[in-house]
Amino acid sequence: MDNMTIDKNRAVPPEEYADLRKALTLISGKWKLEILWLLYHRTHRFGELRKTIPGITQHMLTRQLRELEADGLVTRTVFAEVPPRVEYSMTEATKALEPTIMALMAWWQQFGKAAQGGTQPEE
Amino acid sequence: MDNMTIDKNRAVPPEEYADLRKALTLISGKWKLEILWLLYHRTHRFGELRKTIPGITQHMLTRQLRELEADGLVTRTVFAEVPPRVEYSMTEATKALEPTIMALMAWWQQFGKAAQGGTQPEE
DNA sequence: CTGGATCCCCCAGGATACTG
DNA sequence: CAGTATCCTGGGGGATCCAG
């Protein structure tokens, strides 16, 4: 496919739609975007993420990080030190995702927000 | 917003992160993307969507469409005819979202797919 | 400090039957 | 044809305690 737009003459492409679903799944965790957001700034330690993200528990943070790691969206580095230290950082895939994330946010701010302005833009 | 990139010098922007979460929520329904995908081609009748989307039930189709409508992502047109006819079509917001959706899919195909190489095979 | 093991709750998703 | 009205289920999310 040489053109990044939807082919109006063809029926639904099931496999590509599946890809789309999977891509969404990767970032669908409740805290994943916020974690990635922090990692866009810099590498964080586990405790830093925990303190910075309001409302998250160790358990959830661990789970979300494990999933992100399995999906190649974060890198986990363990330091064999006396007080355990684990650092999480973004990957190439994470970096490549940033423009899309920002585009999604911009889209919401322009269209979604208005639509939710009361379920009806104006009357 | 003059720059579409994350400010590395600032802490987490809670409100913008909330916007991002909401944007994701709008398209997080299991069948929403596939519905939008079909509407990118052309306006569809309820029955058309039902027949075209494999595995969806009337119930789920109705629910997803209602949510999309409430979020301003689809337009619902009812024709007062003897055999009821209802058509669904995309909105300006839907159109504006297309590039982002395609970008997300392209991202997955380039990065996510490779990352899943060792996770779990398909079924 | 990091994170595993358990138990619990809620709700998106689904199966089924009925209707203007 | 295009929906509602019920009921049920799985699993994501959460609270809490334990451990290296």
Q: What is the pLDDT of residues A16-72, one digit of tens each?
A: 888 899 999 999 999 999 999 999 999 999 999 999 999 999 999 999 999 999 999
Count of beta carbons in the 10 Å neighbourhood of residue B113:
14
Angle B58-70/B32-41 helices, nearest 10 degrees? 80
Say how far apart CA A68 and CA A48 lie, in whole Å.
17
Name the nt closest to A31 by C-alpha to C1': D13
pLDDT grade for B108, boundaries at 50, 70 and 90: very high
Q: Do residues A27 and A38 lie in contact, with contact meaning Cβ atoms separated by under 8 Å?
A: no
Predicted confidence band of residue B4 (pLDDT cuts 50, 70, 90): low
Rounded to whole angstroms, how far apart are CA atoms B81 and A75? 59
**Beta-bridge partner residues of B80:** none
What does the pLDDT read at residue B121?
Answer: 38
In the numeric block, which tokens belong to residue A62? Answer: 């661990």
Looking at residue A10, its pLDDT comes to 45
Q: Does A50 touch chain B (CB under 8 A)?
A: no
* Pick among 1.10.10.10, 3.40.50.300, 3.40.630.30, 1.10.1200.10: CATH of A28-110: 1.10.10.10
Count interface pairs A-B at CB distance under 8 A: 155
Q: Where does residue A18 rank: exposed (0-12), middle (13-18), buried (19+ CB within 10 A)?
A: middle
Q: Mean pLDDT highest for which of B14-18, B76-80, B111-115?
A: B76-80
Q: Is A113 on the interface with B (CB under 8 A)?
A: yes
Phi, psi of B109 (to 5 degrees): -65, -30
A58 touches strand D (CB under 7 A): yes
Domain ranges of chain B: 28-110
Hey, are the CB atoms on B111 and A99 less than 8 Å from each other? no
How many angstroms separate the CA atoms of B113 and B106, rounded?
Answer: 10
Exposure of A13 in the CB half-sphere (CA atoms within 13 A):
16
pLDDT band at residue B12 under the 50/70/90 scheme: low
Please name the residue of chain A whose CA is at the shortest distance from the CA of residue B67. A119
- Give the global pTM: 0.86
Q: Is the dihedral of CA A43, A46, A48, A53 positive or negative?
A: positive
Q: What is the DSSP letter of B82?
A: S
Q: How far is A23 from chain B (nearest CA, A)?
A: 5
Residues 6+ apart with CB under 8 A from A49: A35, A38, A56, A61, A65, A88
Residue A38 touches chain B, beta carbons under 8 Å: yes
Two tokens at A40? 């866009």
pLDDT tens per residue, range A63-121 = 999 999 999 999 999 999 989 999 999 999 999 999 999 999 999 999 877 777 544 43
